[in-house]
Chain A
Amino acid sequence: MTRLVRPVRWGAATLAALLAATACGGSGGKGKGDATGADASYSVALTEPDHLTPGNTSSSYSIDVLNGVFDTLVVLDPKDGHPVMQAAQSVTSGDQRNWTIKLRAGQTFQNGEKVTAQSFVDAWNAAAYGPNGWANNYYFGNIEGYPALNPEDGKAAPAVKTLSGLKVVDDLTFTVKLTAPFSPFPMTLSYMGFAPLPRAAFSDPKKFDVHPIGNGPFQMDGDWQHNQQIALKKYAGYKGPRPAAAGGVQFKIYANKDTAWTDFQAGQVDYMVNIPPAHIPEAKRLLGDRLLDTPSGTMDYLGFPVFDKRFADPRVRKAFSMAIDRKAIVNAVYNGAYQPMASLLAPNVPGYRKDACGEACTYDPAKAKQLLTQAGGFNGPLELWFANSDSTYEQWMTAVANELKQNLGIQQITFRKIPAADYSSTLSGRKESGPYRQNWVMDYPNAQDYLEPMWGNGNKMGWQNPKFLDLVKQANQAADPAAAIRLYQQAEDVALGEMPMVPLWNWTDYSAYSERLQNVKVDPYITLHLDQISVK
């Protein structure tokens, strides 16, 4: 019998030895991230992107990477959001419709090819060509010639492959003709979808998608290893305004943000953006000023099916809005990490007014009840619609349901939880029978990017207001940005006056960095300033 006891100790000893032996592997596993000085690289936690070809992705994870690899024509000033030239030297127009873009001379792609006007025109044509099926196709819809590249039924191949509105003038100049005057145009050029492409992107698109070649301060260091990592290294030939301060960046891909957060705490990754709200209290306690926050362009709204008789009266919608305690919900569901909103625009959009909505977005149960009574009350069961993509949606909808029950006396409330894949098309088809969750991720910080897609023609609420449409149109044509903002604000007031959709809260972006890094700054427009960060 005694003989059998010995192996127990032996077994335990091997396990211990095994653990000890691998322990060095555990903490030393940062690879090249361990170096210090100018050539040192750092790591960033990322979620798997969909594509790495700028015209073919609108995923923020792709854009986080591409921001290092490509220089867009303009960037936005972190203070007031006005366009600052980057790959462009100037973007000008006399009539807000015909735009001339001049490029900064001497730029090269990371394979040595010169960045020319043609590199931009080719990239834009490829994205605008329907049969390519690129994700950013829609962003080229206001350039002349777009319909010819995108036949409505999509069956027959288009006869032309290039946008008639794009003309190359010389090596460094091209012109853009829009379908209508559009003053925010220079601002939209900060979007990654408008980045230039070298010829290599067209000769071998598959290869390019895993190994993009751009004009930015970093170049790919090997191919994208799906679900594992994307490595970037400093591009020595970069002559633009934002040279890289570090030797390289390693994006580590996580399928799960909670795991990324644990790995960050274990010191396995240096920088993490979009920390889930659930971890914010812990992060505040642990990190102090190494936790950064900035309002994002992402908003949550509650939309109403205005086409449904029961929601046709603005007073009903206002009553709903005033019966919802935004602050309490944000605290309970998102640990206070998000900001309650009384504006249709996100706080980082020029023209944002903190209290645009006023009383109608203020929690006041008595007034809400009174408004609903005046409007004739609410009859029948109420259905609340949301997608099943995140468990917090149901949590906050439950809170909303309780408040509506308590404050407005609506007894029969049920949930319609729709598969994420179906949600958008359900709403576009106006199949919703009650208030629904609307989320919006900003493309570029302009009031137009909120007002027109969500409240403009063909909106999900079935709301139509000629005055609103006219104000947006005027704003789009205004040459002076300040005048444009005033007009957008007037349009916002019209939408807020009728409340077909009410603002709920704005997502705050939280990012955290390790003690190895310095010069980490957050900016309401760019999640990651890869070029500025350096290793101590």
Chain B
Amino acid sequence: MWRYTARRLLQAVPVFLGTTFLIYALVFALPGDPVRALAGDKPVSPSVLAALHQRYHLDDPLLVQYGKYLAGLLRGDLGETFTGQNVSDLLRDRWTVTAQLAVTAWLFELVFGTFLGVVAGLRRGKAVDTAVLAGTTLVIAVPVFVVGYTAQLLIGLKWQLLPTAGTEDGWPTSYLLPGMVLGSFGLAYVARLTRTTLIENLRADYVRTATAKGLTRTRTVVVHTLRNSLIPVVTFLGVDFGSLMAGAVVTEGIFNLPGVGQQVFQSIQLKEGPVVVGATTALVLVFLLVNLAVDLLYGVLDPRIRHE
């Protein structure tokens, strides 16, 4: 398993180089002069234009720019934004927010999703099952901004149960509402996946054997059936954790959470290469790590799976 892990980690190096270059090139290819764009309709003196172009290496060809960026990266210097902010500080702040949001949403999915799935699966065809089915269909069908604004208006504004926006109250208070909104979609998937695989496995021979041996219903369900039903759920949760970290531009926007999603969105508009590359590269790494963790978890859940 260690060799497997090491191999997977080594594979991350070319992926890292490839993505940084690709993203850098994409940002480079965006049309428009970022310095002029920052000034809007106001005139920019040629001397200022030249000075800023030089400061941010905007006149260099792509490969030279990328080379300078990589050289900085090796020294641990992620560069500067057009407003003179240090990119590593910026990303650290942003990642803190996004990580808190993602973890909240993810826990929400995990706990309530599997729970609803198990309930529905065990009471198949009953009212609870139908309700879960209908509820999850609704959540999947409605776009996230509708869920977001509705939740904000009802829970935040009308009933004043949770803050409407911002991170002022810290974790978890500030993150509960956006986390629930962001996690609602995944929750629906997790609930459905859990339900389906659980129902399938409840019909399996080993369950009948376990019941015949006289095990309690709880033990049969929790220890035997659920564990075997979790593999697709874990896969989904793993991949979903990655996409939650990818920043929820819409949710972050509605709830005014200064996270990575918003930053990348703004920086693409401003053509801020170092920020876009820094943020997305970190994301790629998160994805790689999460996938590795998921693959390793398979082995824990199903001893038949071995990593060589």
Contact = CB atoms under 8 A, between A and B. Distances in A.
A256 B41 contact: no
Given A26-B156, A263-B165, A256 B253 contact: yes
B84 interface: yes
Interface string A400-437: 00000000000000000001111011000000000000
Contacts of B38: 50, 135
A514 interface: no
Contact of B50 (A154, A228, A252, A253): A154
Interface string A253-267: 111101110110110
A259 B157 CA distance: 11
Contacts of A266: 156-157, 160, 163-164
Given A421-B37, A441-B41, A31 B157 contact: no
Interface stretch (B133-141, B168-176, B205-213): B168-176
A259 B254 contact: yes
A268 B152 CA distance: 13
A228 B258 contact: yes
Given A150-B45, A266-B156, A421 B269 contact: yes
A424 B166 contact: no
Given A22-B162, A149-B47, A150-B46, A254 B256 contact: yes
Contacts of B53: 154
A425 B93 CA distance: 34
Contacts, number: 187
Contact of B48 (A23, A134, A209): A134
Contacts of A258: 254
A155 to B, nearest CB: 7
B222 to A, nearest CB: 10
Contacts of B112: 11
Interface in B234-251: none
B17 interface: no
Nearest to A443: B42
B45 to A, nearest CB: 5
A26 B258 contact: no
A439 interface: yes
Contact of B36 (A3, A7, A259, A421): A421
A227 B93 contact: yes
B256 A226 contact: no
B93 A262 contact: no
Closest 4 CB pairs of A and B: A154-B50, A130-B47, A421-B32, A421-B37
14 contacts: A22-B161, A26-B173, A50-B83, A131-B51, A135-B48, A209-B84, A259-B164, A259-B254, A262-B152, A421-B37, A421-B269, A424-B37, A424-B39, A453-B43
Given A259-B253, A262-B165, 20 more contacts: A3-B217, A3-B218, A4-B118, A19-B161, A23-B160, A25-B173, A58-B42, A130-B47, A137-B44, A138-B42, A226-B85, A252-B168, A259-B165, A263-B166, A263-B256, A266-B156, A420-B269, A421-B34, A424-B36, A438-B41
